[in-house]
Chains A and B, each alone.
Chain A
Amino acid sequence: MRPCRCEDVSGGARACGISFCNSRPKREVIQCVTMLPAPGVFHFLWEITSGAVQEGATVRTIGRLACYRLEDSEVTLTVRHGSTQHQLVVLTGFVEPFLPITGALYMMLGECESIEADGTTVLRARVLNCVEGVNLPQLEDAVSEQRRFFQEREREREREREREGGTSAPHTSAEGPC
């Protein structure tokens, strides 16, 4: 017997009706417990604007707050890469109220809401943190190091699969999470 993990329905009563049970947690609890969001893979802002991310994918990115439109709950994040200024629109409905500091670096984690016809990507943030003061080159290095590790690992696994199977099975390898 183990303590029941069924949902608390009201004032201490358990959904299953008893305090200790070995029964399966009730269906609505199963749905709640297993519905974890997808992991937010780190992408640089310029990668998102150039279309590396599909609609519905969860991403994590970093950019400078250019402007905040309170009435639309929208924020524009920008970043300069090479000689181009890339920008992205982020919907902040879920993270309001927050303190907007124009020009400061923000890290967001959220889903890709839509990709417009003209190529602009709109993200919806679930997490928006101010990270002003971060060492951007160091962050880029760390992210590249992690990506390199995952790519090596994927190559190693493919080689092992080929060695075992003889024929390489076709598989779509998502780019290594980072």
Chain B
Amino acid sequence: MDFEGEPPPEEWGLDPFFFMFAKLYIKDILELKPSNRGRKIHFYKSHPVTKVEILGTVVFKQDREKYTCYGVDDSTGVVRCLCWKNGRQNKVSDSGHSTGVLPGARQQQELQELSTLELGDLIRARGRVQTYREQMEISAYSYCKVDDPTLEVQISWMREVPRLYRKYYDKPRLGSDAVKRPGDTGAAGPLTLSKLVTLMSEQLREFLRESKVSTFCLQDLETVDSLVSVACRPLESVSTEEEAEIAASTAKRVRHVFTHATRKLEEEGLVFVKKYYPVKVYQVTVQDQELLRVTRQIILADCALPCNAEQGCHFLEVFRSVSERFRSVNKAALRQVLDALELSSDIVSSTRSHYVAF
């Protein structure tokens, strides 16, 4: 993004704002920033705004030959709204009636009444925003007088607009830098021990996926050059004495980083401890064929029970049975196993927590 916070033109069309009639407060319309690239595009908090819809009271009227200029006040600001008079540009729409091919005299009179507004009338206008002599104004594509004797329309507008702002207008564009991507290690900033551990866990995940390794122990990881080089990166900032001690010795740092990164993957369920003695051996969850086979058998057996005939067996039931056989498999690891089985169509999930095997 160049032009300090303005998205590039190729991204404007990706934002729904570009095409819609935004229901902005008139105060915000008056404060819209013109783009550095041209006066036809304006921005509201990095959203490109071309068209708006306003609802307000007419507090100013100026009749000209080709257009009428109404000053519209919605209690946050007053803006000029140009309502063109010639037939091509002016589409006077009243709520629900169709004008038909040849409007009769009565309909024409009604249209005339709807298109002529006086001070104090409520106007709803949809149009393009433009700058004229450094002031914002709206050139209406369509406008009409709103009949609102009990203020219902104005009340629902007052309720709707803050909701739109909170839900859509004040949120950053999807895909913009302001929306943080998941798994963002926050690469900006000094490299601390915890950031290094996070980085390592991601590297390890990639490595296990690519190499299709089934079992490994921590000593094996120390033979992989790519992983060791990441672990040996010098730390830029330390916060505790313990961290400083670890940072000082390369061997300690490498061991610490590998241990914690593997623990993180264990918590996520990607690996589990297969053997504790004589040395801790980790097993990549989805590579353990024994575990997959046993899980499938358990689900098959449980589904045969009459109570599970309808929906299948619940995740917790499966977990209880599996953890009797494989003690170090946690819930996250079991989810990985069930996902792998579903991917190979051995089981089907009937609901979010129920599984059926055939």
Contacts and interface: CB of A to CB of B under 8 A. Distances in A.
Contact of A37 (B71, B150, B161): B71
Given A37-B78, A39-B75, A177-B76, A134 B60 contact: no
B74 interface: yes
Given A30-B133, A138-B155, A149-B162, A3 B60 contact: no
A173 interface: no
A141 B74 CA distance: 17
Contacts, number: 96
A127 B120 contact: yes
A146 B162 contact: yes
A122 to B, nearest CB: 20
Contact of A143 (B133, B149, B158): B158
Contacts of A128: 120
Contact of A142 (B27, B73, B120, B159): B159
Contact count band on A: 35 or more
A135 interface: yes
A139 B159 CA distance: 10
Given A8-B65, A33-B62, A178 B120 contact: no
Interface SS of A by simple majority: mixed
Contacts of B119: 126-127
B75 A36 contact: no
Nearest to B80: A36
A129 B80 contact: no
A177 B66 contact: no
Interface in B29-60: 57, 59-60
Interface string A133-152: 11100110111011011000
B151 A39 contact: no
A145 B162 contact: yes
Nearest to A62: B151
Interface in B72-118: 73-80
Contacts of A30: 133
Interface residues of B, number: 35
Contact of B75 (A60, A126, A132): A60
A126 B59 contact: yes
Interface string A22-33: 001100001011
A39 B75 CA distance: 5
Given A149-B165, A177-B76, A36 B71 contact: yes
A3 B161 CA distance: 36
A177 B73 contact: no
B64 interface: yes
Contacts of B57: 40, 109, 127
B31 to A, nearest CB: 12
A34 B75 contact: no
B77 A131 contact: no
A128 B60 CA distance: 15
B75 A177 contact: yes
A39 B155 contact: no
A38 interface: yes
B77 A39 contact: yes
A80 B353 CA distance: 57
**Lowest 10 CB-CB distances: which A-B pairs, in order?**
A149-B162, A127-B120, A142-B158, A133-B150, A177-B76, A134-B151, A36-B78, A142-B155, A36-B71, A134-B150
14 contacts: A24-B133, A34-B135, A39-B26, A39-B78, A109-B59, A109-B73, A126-B119, A127-B120, A129-B120, A134-B155, A139-B151, A148-B162, A149-B165, A177-B76
Interface of B: 26-27, 57, 59-60, 62, 64-66, 69, 71, 73-80, 119-120, 133, 135, 149-152, 155-156, 158-159, 161-162, 165-166
Interface of A: 3, 5, 8, 24-25, 30, 32-34, 36-42, 60, 95, 107, 109, 126-135, 138-139, 141-143, 145-146, 148-149, 177-178
